[in-house]
Amino acid sequence: MNSTNSIDPRVMKELLQLQMLSKMSLLSGDNAASSKDDSNDFSALLETVMGQAAGADLSGQSSQDTLSSLLGNNTMNSVPSSLAALNKAYSPLQSTNNKSIATQYESIIQEASSKYGIDPSLVKAVIQQESDFNHKAVSSAGAKGLMQLMDGTGSGFGVTNPFDPHQNIDAGTHFLSSLVKKYNGNEGVALAAYNAGPGRVDRLGIKTDQDLSNKLHLLPEETQAYVSKVFNRKHNFSL
């Protein structure tokens, strides 16, 4: 029996995209995840948060053509127009069971989103992208849990057990919300900072989504793809 012919075309599509993204990650010289552990950057952001509380192209034309033909050029309305080019280059990984997986954490996400004033669809999108709703996930860089918090970030927001869904989502949502506020509602910049670290984003002088579009090529390819993929996941959760 030919096993290739028995694979669902949608599954094959996702496998091929994962292979493509894996190759892109290998081409990047920077490890974006390690930037999250920049204690100085985090301390500065934490001080800001506490103060408030008190008061692109893919490498090679052939690769891009292959990915486009497999996934289509879906431009979601939720992606800021300034990031449209990025969204076109990195199509989202489609999943039919995102919403059903998210249901088990719905009450925690809604509580945290309401508490910190952020769109729950954005929180769900970040969780989907970071851990695929696996509360036991651990990255090679040491990020843990549903929202993939580094130990320094988690402890700064009161986390004692990063694998506890309630603690992890509360802290991750607080951190994400603080980034959105720091960048005056520019969610694209906040997502780039969540992935690559606010210090790296600040050093590049990126303050708005338009800045992000102009300087996107200066960020790691992982971060470039991350922003687009989270926006598209947010759109799916908003439906």
**Rounded distance between C-alpha atoms, residue 190 and residue 231, angstroms:** 12
**Rounded distance between C-alpha atoms, residue 238 and residue 128, angstroms:** 14
Q: What is the largest CA-CA distance in the chain?
A: 67
How many other CB atoms sit within 10 Å of the CB of residue 111?
15
Closest CA to 200 of 164, 174, 226, 163: 226
User: Which residues participate in catalysis according to the annotation?
Assistant: 130
**Rounded distance between C-alpha atoms, residue 58 and residue 81, angstroms:** 19
**Rounded distance between C-alpha atoms, residue 64 and residue 17, angstroms:** 11
